[in-house]
Structure 1
Amino acid sequence: MNVLAHALLAGDDAALRLGGVMGDFIRGTPDLALPPRVRDGIYLHRAIDGFTDSHDEVRAARERLPAPFRRYAGILLDMWFDHCLARDFAKWSAHPLAEFSAGLRDEMHAAMPILPDSLRRFLGYMDANDLPAGYIEPAAIGKALGGISQRLSRANPVADAMPLLLSEDTMLRGTFERFFPQLRDFAREWVVQRSSLAGLR
């Protein structure tokens, strides 16, 4: 869901980036037929999610969300953090947002044969909505939340969360500003350690 963050946190390795994006679309053990660095990117995605979910700043932000939205706070915060990242992308990346976004989609199209069917469909949605760069606009977040809401198996308030997210934007932006540098450092260290292990194999 938070495509922009996972792609950026994978660094300059295109295969890691691809795996980072694939992470939301693959369950269980990644197919051994995938390139090793793509598999590493999937595991990086999961490590990032674990770090995020257990972080005190993120936990506090989840607790700020009222019922019934708190149950879906992971989804809502992931999406809003991508919005925060897109708004201040120049602070976190040397690449312009539009260039980074288009390059990511180009890499995904080039890897089409190994993409899961669900990610192929999502790539079409990304193309049509200029994502992830489009996440700079709140309306794009609202549209994405509407789609997520429809795909969830039970009735949920996700599609109705935009007024809440907008009202909590100052708090959420502060959370992101404090949390994301730590997440970036965690991801960089994970990549270094994984690369060292790969060199030993």
Structure 2
Amino acid sequence: MNFLAHLFLSGDSEEILVGNLLEDYVVGRIEHPRNQHFSSNIKNGILLHRIIDTFTDTHTAVSTCKTVLYKHYHKYASVVIDIYFDHYLAKHWYSYSTEPFEDFRKRAHQSLLNYWGILPDKMKPMVDSMIKYDWLKNYSEFWGIERALTGVAQRTAYKSNMEKAVDDLKEHYDFFDENFRLFFPQIIKECTHFLNEKDYTHNFIIVR
């Protein structure tokens, strides 16, 4: 899952949301002494991120999508799918959330600003750009997805061709959409179970 899905799946807690996005900058065990400055809620957000990644990486719908993309993007196929799925979440937002999309974006942005002091320095330019250019909204458009894919491609160690992956999205649009619709209600249930166990609230629509 990419930024939009991780933020959405965090529910209503600011600290869960911040911890979920922060996880990419946390190495190793959550309870390692280097992470002792994080609150228990931030740590739960880090844990939720890892649960989401494990669930996504082992889901059959995601594997099915990879079969179409692997020949072009190899090990980066999963990265491309993550960004595609953010597109479909933005497009189908009101199928999964009772919170207006604009309100959600404002809340997510403000949450990150409220915890600016605990964000690693190397994370701050990304967050600043996300807010300034409203990445989360842009994911609903092909040009926004192309920009996201190009940005990721520029940061890879090897040539990935991901900047061209918007063409595959257009070509197989209904196929990826169908697999997203199979996958996303199930990951919502997975995250709902986690949030309920920890007594956090959310605005998810549970699709039966």
Give TM-score scaled by structure 1 length. 0.91
Give 2:49's aligned residue: 45
Give 2:115's aligned residue: 111
The CA distance in 1 between the partners of 2:56 and 2:176, in whole Å, is: 14
Please identify, of 26-35 and 84-93, the stretch whose mean Cα deviation from structure 2 is larger.
26-35
Q: Residue 128 of structure 2 is aligned with which of 124, 127, 141? A: 124
- 1:68 deviation in Å? 2.6
- After superposition, the C-alpha distances for 1:146-185 in whole angstroms (9 at most, x for unaligned) are 1111111112211121111211111111001111000000
Give 1:17's aligned residue: 17
Q: Residue 56 of structure 1 is aligned with which of 49, 56, 60? A: 60
Contact between 2:61 and 2:179, CA under 8 Å: does it hold in 1? Answer: yes
Give 2:29's aligned residue: 29
The CA distance in 1 between the partners of 2:70 and 2:21, in whole Å, is: 30
Contact between 1:4 and 1:82, CA under 8 Å: does it hold in 2? Answer: yes
- 1:124-143 equivalence runs, <5 A: 124-143=128-147
Change in Cα spacing, 1:194 to 1:95, as seen in structure 2 (3 Å) is closer
Give TM-score scaled by structure 2 length. 0.88
The CA distance in 1 between the partners of 2:76 and 2:173, in whole Å, is: 17
Contact between 2:70 and 2:77, CA under 8 Å: does it hold in 1? Answer: no
The unaligned stretches of length 5 or more in structure 2 are 201-208
The CA distance in 2 between the partners of 1:71 and 1:189, in whole Å, is: 30
The CA distance in 1 between the partners of 2:7 and 2:177, in whole Å, is: 20
Contact between 1:80 and 1:165, CA under 8 Å: does it hold in 2? Answer: yes
- 1:194 deviation in Å? 4.7
Q: How many residues align?
A: 196
Higher helix fraction (1 or 2) = 1
The CA distance in 2 between the partners of 1:145 and 1:40, in whole Å, is: 29
